[in-house]
Amino acid sequence: MKKLFALLLLCTIPLHSEFLVSDGERFARLRLFLKDSLQIEKFHKNSDYGIQNTVTAGLFLNGLVAPNLSFDAFAEVSTDKQSGLEYSGHDFEPYLGYPYVKLGDNGRTWDFFRARTDWQAAPYFKLSGGYDYISFGPARHNKLALRGGDFYWRAIQDTSEQVYIKRPVPTPFAAFELSLDFVSYSQYAMQLKNWKDYTKYLHAHRLAFNVSDNFSFGLTETIVYGGDKEREERRSMEVIYVLPFVPYLFAQSYGGDRENTGMSADFSWKLFKMFELYGELFIDDLNTITSFFDDTWWGNKWAASIGIAIDSAKIGVFNWDYNFEYTRIEPWVYTHHKGPGSDYSHFGNSLGSDLGPNSREFYSRFGVSFKKLLRLDLSVSDIAKDTAFGGQLRDLHTYEDPTDKKYLNPKSTLHYQEYGAAVLFRPFSVWSIGAKQYLIFGEYKGYRTEVFSGVVF
């Protein structure tokens, strides 16, 4: 009890400072922060609960070197201490998630950063590079093609063990963007990690059309390939995918048809000033264009997400927002028959939705705020996750396996609900305190409570 009181007391100690250096149009801004949090969690396969205290110190650095050259960086160091459960060691293999250093039996430390530089070479042409998150599409909760840094606490990540989803990791990238009046084209080359000594790559390009002030749609194409540790196969970057305006669907034959390709189409329709309707369709593979609901071939792999959002609405002195989203992901989506070297993952995390293949979610969130002083968020999710073969990102389909598929087989599908509540109180511009509560009911049960203090961005 004394230890718990001491941790809660520590959560009330914030620190924030800002330094600004400017010279005409050029400037550099440095912000330092310290955050402390306490988490308590318990799941139905564990008879004990774990108490974790996390202390994080970090900085934000951004600025303008020239009128057309900007930079943005973030770095943090976190230390976790946990009672009730022990941390396992980390051998720095990327597929195990972002690496950490173990401190005794119940402690670990993390070093995390991201950084990018953008050069607006001309009004219509921009070059970018760095180590950062890349995301495409209008979806708020489950982006299907590239989710970037979106990170939501999940009750279950792997049906073989009870863990919550690991933090997504940025990617080294080089990119360019061409922007005209109503259409833009962007292209990215990224390096992924699955094994330490084997390279893995992701290329993505996107056409975005601004049809009108309130309607836009986009077309995205991705391709993933890499070496395979099991076969001791190594691959280098294919130059053809770096060239602009080359369709990956046709170019993959150049490399021997060994890549994992994906295509997506999305739209955003702002019917009113604050109301948005959006959707995304991701096609991993299809036997024919009409075989979406054909369960006789496992390779008919696709996912869809549709949602509505209301932003910055008014109720008296309060601002409120709302989001509803439905997501369906077919079996085997994001997987690849050549294994982890070509699946849709980076540091053990899905590059698309973290629900994984063979899943479904109804998600709803309501948020209300009073100026910048107080913020309350309430959310509920109804999730179905099939635990059968073809429901995990690492599952490998071979020539000996059945060729049919079953979406959410009743015999192997888990059904559960996640309820979330979060409150953030900012009594001063330099200090925030808050709390989060997650409850899980259904065929999977548990809870997670978090209290935090500091500066939250």
pLDDT in tens, the chain (457 residues): 444 444 444 444 444 566 777 777 788 999 888 888 888 877 655 545 678 889 999 999 999 998 899 999 999 999 988 876 677 777 888 888 888 888 887 888 989 999 999 999 999 999 999 999 999 999 999 999 999 988 777 765 544 443 434 678 999 999 999 998 899 999 999 999 988 888 999 999 999 999 998 999 999 999 999 988 877 788 889 999 999 999 998 888 887 878 899 999 999 999 888 899 999 999 998 877 777 888 889 989 999 999 999 998 888 889 999 999 999 999 999 999 888 888 999 998 899 998 999 999 999 999 999 988 899 999 999 999 999 999 998 898 888 889 999 999 999 999 999 999 999 998 877 778 889 998 888 887 888 888 888 754 4
> The whole model's pTM is what?
0.90
Report the top-level CATH class of 2-454: mainly beta
Amino acid identity at 43:
F
Pairing outcome for strands 69-83 and 101-103: unpaired
Q: For the purposes of burial, counting CB atoms within 10 Å of the CB of 441, is it exposed (0-12), middle (13-18) or buried (19 or more)?
A: middle
The 8-class DSSP code of residue 316 comes to T
343 φ, ψ to 5°?
-80, 175
Q: Are 194 and 94 in contact (CB under 8 A)?
A: yes
How far apart CA 276 and CA 267 sit, in angstroms, is 10
Query: Coil, helix or strand for 270?
Result: coil
- Strand ranges inside 67-211, DSSP E: 69-83, 101-103, 107-122, 125-132, 171-179, 183-195, 198-210
The 8-class DSSP code of residue 165 comes to P
How far apart CA 174 and CA 172 sit, in angstroms, is 7
> Facing residues of 66 across strands?
69
How far apart CA 129 and CA 342 sit, in angstroms, is 23
Instruction: Provide the CA 42 distance to its chain's centre, in angstroms.
Output: 24
Confidence (pLDDT) at 156: 56
Instruction: Provide the CA 317 distance to its chain's centre, in angstroms.
Output: 33
How far apart CA 25 and CA 77 sit, in angstroms, is 32
Tokens in use for 54? 């996390």
Query: Coil, helix or strand for 253?
Result: helix
State how far the alpha carbon of 311 is from the alpha carbons of 27, 190, 290, in Å: 32, 33, 36
How many other C-beta atoms lie within 10 A of the C-beta of residue 404? 11
- Strand ranges inside 247-333, DSSP E: 260-269, 275-285, 301-315, 318-329
CA pseudo-torsion sign 1, 448, 60, 322: negative
* Domains of the chain by residue range: 2-454
Q: Are 434 and 456 in contact (CB under 8 A)?
A: yes
Q: Could you report how far apart the first and last alpha carbons of the chain are, in Å?
A: 31
How far apart CA 353 and CA 260 sit, in angstroms, is 16
79 φ, ψ to 5°?
-125, 125
